[in-house]
Amino acid sequence: MSTNNLEIPRGNSAGFVRYFKQDLVSGLMVFIIALPLCLAISLASGYPAMAGIMTAVIGSLLTTFLSNSELTIKGPAAGLIVIVLGCIKDFGGNGFADGIGPGDIEAYRAALAVGVAAAVLQVLFGLFKAGILSEFFPKSAIHGMLSAIGVIIIAKQIPNALGVSTDKQEPLELLAEIPHFISEANPAIASIGILSIGLLALWPTIKQKLKAISVVPPQLVVLVVAVLIGLYLNLLENHQYKLLGHTYSLGDKYLVPLPSKMFGILDQITLPNFSVLQQWIAWKWILMFFIIGTLESILSAKAIDSIDPWKRKTDMNRDVLAVGCANLCASMVGGLPMISEIVRSKANIDNGARTRFADMWHGIFLLVCVALLPATLHLIPKSALAAMLIYTGFRLAHPSEFSHMYQVGREQLVIFVTTLVVTLATDLLIGVAAGIGMKFLIHLVNGVPIKSFFKAYLDIEPVSQDTVKIRASESAVFSNWIPFKRQIEHIGLVQRKNLIIDVSDAKLIDHTVMEKLHETQAEMQAEGLNFDIVGLDQHQALSGHAEAARKRGLARLRRITVVAEPACEELLQRECLARGASGFTVTQSRGVGRHNVHDGTWETTTGIRLETIVPFQVSEGLLRYLREEVMNKYHATVSVETIEVLLPDQFLQADTTESALVHHG
C-alpha cells in the first residue's frame, strides 16, 4: 500500500466518496474471512450461530460512526469464547452447538443480560475517559491469559473437529482425553476437520508457489472444500456408513444450525432476562465480560494503530465508548460481545482499506449474505469451523510465545507460565490475578519498596523553556505506570514540552514500563517532540532483550585476557573491535610458558598482554574466534573472568550504544 500521497485518509463524507472503491473491496475480503469466524465463535461460545453475525453487523454499522478508529474491524472474537461459554455454563446451559437442550434458552438470555450490564460499564468507562486503566495490566500476564485462552479453545474444539461428543468440560480434562477422541473419531467428519487445519497451516506455503491465488483468503478455500465434501457425504440426510467393521452416523447435526428461510435473522432476535442480575454470580461474569473485553479491544486497536500506513491514532476512550454502545445494542437483541478484532483488522489493512467505511461494508455484506442465503450457509460443516478455531487457538498459544517471554527475561516467563497454568486449572479471573501476584512477588525480591507499588515518586524539573526533566525514584513498574504516564502526557503532549525521563534513581524499571516508555517516545516523536531516556546505564538488564526489566546495581560483564606472541598483536586488536569490543588495553609482557621449560631450565620470552571487557553476548563470538583462529596458529593463552561494573554502556561500541538508544526510544 503506497503512502506517498501526503493526504491522510479520513472517515468522513469526503473520504467515503474518495476511497469508495478501496474500502468496498477491502470490506468484501474481510467479509469472506469474518463470515465463518463469526459462525464458529458464536457456536463455540454457546450462542446460536446467527448471534455472531448479528454482533458483527451491529458493530460495523454503529462503531463506524461513533469511533475514530479508521482500520479496526469490530466483531466477536475468539478471545472471549472461554468467558461467554463459562457464563452460559454457570447459568445451567450447554450451548446451541448440538441442538437446544433444557435450560439453554434461559442461560442464553441470562448471558445477554450480563452482556448488557458489561456494555453499560464500557460506556461509562469511555465517557469518564478511564481507558488509561488498561495500562495497569502487565504484558506478561496478558500474554499468559491469551495463551491460556488459545489452549482452552483448542481443547474444546478438537472433539468438534473429529465429530466426537463428550461431556467433559474442563480444559485439562479435555486435553487428557485427546487420545480417546482420536480413537473414537468419525472418519468422514474428521477428514473435513483435519483437511481444513492442513489447508490453513499450509496456505502461506501454497501462496508462495501459486502466486495467482495469493489474494484468495484461506478461510474461503476451507469453506468451499468443506462444503463440497459435505455435499459428497450427503450430510443433509441422516444415514450411516461402515468402515473397518465400525458403523458411523452422518447427518444434519454435523452442519451449522441456521434458519432456512430468507430474512430468518429476524426470527433470531432474543431479549435478555434482566432478573438474573440479582444473582451474585452474574456480577462475576459482568466483570469478566467488561475487563477482558475492554482490555482486548484496546490492545487490538493499539496494535492496528502501530501498523496503520498513515499512523493515525485512535482515541481509546471514544473507541471503548463506541464498542460499549454497540455491545449494548447487540446484547439487547441476542448478539455476542464484540471487540476491535486483530486478525480481521490486519486483513483489512492488507486488502487496502483506507477508512472506517471498510468496516461498515464488511457488515453490510454479512447482513445481505445471512438475509438472502441462509440455506447455503447451512451447508457449512461444523468440523470446518472447529478447525478454524483450533488454528486461531494455536496462534494465540504459539510455542514462540514461550521463547519470546524467555528472551525478554526469565522472570517474565515465570509470570507468563503462572498465568497460563492457573487459568487452565481454575478460570481466567484467578489466572490473571495469579500472574499479577507473581509479578508483585518478583518485584519484592528485586528490592522494589512496597510504598512505590501504586505510587509513582516523580520530581518535575524544568531544564529550559521547552524541555522538562521527569525524575523517577524508588521504582517504575506496571502498577505505578498510570500516574507516571499522566505526567508524561500532560507535560509532553498537552503543554508541548520536550521530555527527559531520568530513571537513574529507580531501583527497578520493569518490562511493562520499558515497553511503555518506548511506545510513548514513538508517539512523542510523531508529534515532533523529543523524548530522551537517561539513567539506564546505571541499571543491569535482566536479559539481552531491548525491553528487558532493568535493576539498579552493578552489571556483570566478562574480562577476557589474552597473552600471545607479538606477531599477532595487530590481528588481535583488529578482531576485538570487529567482534564488538568497545576497546582494549595492550601491555608488553615477559614470562615463561610450558614450552620454554626444559629439564629444570627455562627461557624467558617477550609477548603482549591484551585485556578487553565485553558483554556476555559479545564474549561468546570473541572466544570462539580466539579458540578456532588464534590458538591454533600462535602461542597464546586465554583467560576469562566475570566482573561487575558500574556503567556497562561504557563497554558497548559507540554505534552499538547509539543504535540501542534509538531502539529503546
Q: Which class is 555-655 in CATH? A: alpha beta
Give alpha helix (H) positions in 265-372. 280-307, 316-333, 342-350, 357-372
Q: Note the pLDDT of residue 2.
A: 46
User: On the CB side of 76, how many CA atoms lie within 13 Å of its CA?
Assistant: 38
Tell how many helices (H) and how many strands (E) occur in the chain: 24, 16
Per the CB < 8 A criterion, the answer to whether 364 and 77 are in contact is no
Q: Is 464 exposed, middle or buried (0-12, 13-18, 19+ CB in 10 A)?
A: exposed
pLDDT at 660 over 70: no
% the chain with pLDDT above 90: 71
Q: Note the pLDDT of residue 320.
A: 95
Give the mean model confidence (pLDDT) for residues 25-34. 95
Lowest mean pLDDT among 53-57, 164-168, 286-290, 535-539: 535-539
CA distance 107 to 122: 22
Residue 661 — very low, low, confident or very high, per pLDDT cuts 50/70/90? very low
pLDDT at 663 over 50: no
Give the mean model confidence (pLDDT) for residues 585-599. 83
Q: Note the pLDDT of residue 132.
A: 79
pLDDT tens figures, 68-102:
999 999 999 988 999 999 999 999 999 888 778 77
CA distance 622 to 615: 11
Q: Note the pLDDT of residue 450.
A: 93
Q: Note the pLDDT of residue 655.
A: 60
pLDDT at 112 over 90: yes
Q: Note the pLDDT of residue 454.
A: 92
Domain ranges in the chain? 13-68+96-396, 400-445, 450-551, 555-655
Q: Is 561 exposed, middle or buried (0-12, 13-18, 19+ CB in 10 A)?
A: middle
% the chain with pLDDT above 70: 97
User: On the CB side of 234, how many CA atoms lie within 13 Å of its CA?
Assistant: 6
Q: Note the pLDDT of residue 6.
A: 52
The CATH fold of domain 450-551: Transcription Regulator spoIIAA (3.30.750)
Q: Note the pLDDT of residue 313.
A: 87
C-alpha cell at 519: 511506545
Q: Note the pLDDT of residue 302.
A: 85
Burial code of 527-549, b = ≥16 C-beta within 10 A, e = fewer?
Answer: eebebebebbbbbbbbbebebbb
Per the CB < 8 A criterion, the answer to whether 89 and 106 are in contact is no
> What's the Cα-to-Cα distance from 167 to each of 25, 47, 94, 173, rounded to whole Å?
43, 18, 10, 10
pLDDT tens figures, 40-75:
999 999 999 999 999 999 999 999 999 999 999 999
Mean pLDDT, the chain, rounded, equals 90
Per the CB < 8 A criterion, the answer to whether 347 and 33 are in contact is yes
pLDDT at 658 over 80: no
Q: Measure CA of the first residue to CA of the last residue in the chain; give whole Å.
A: 26
User: Is 450-551's fold the same as 555-655's?
Assistant: no
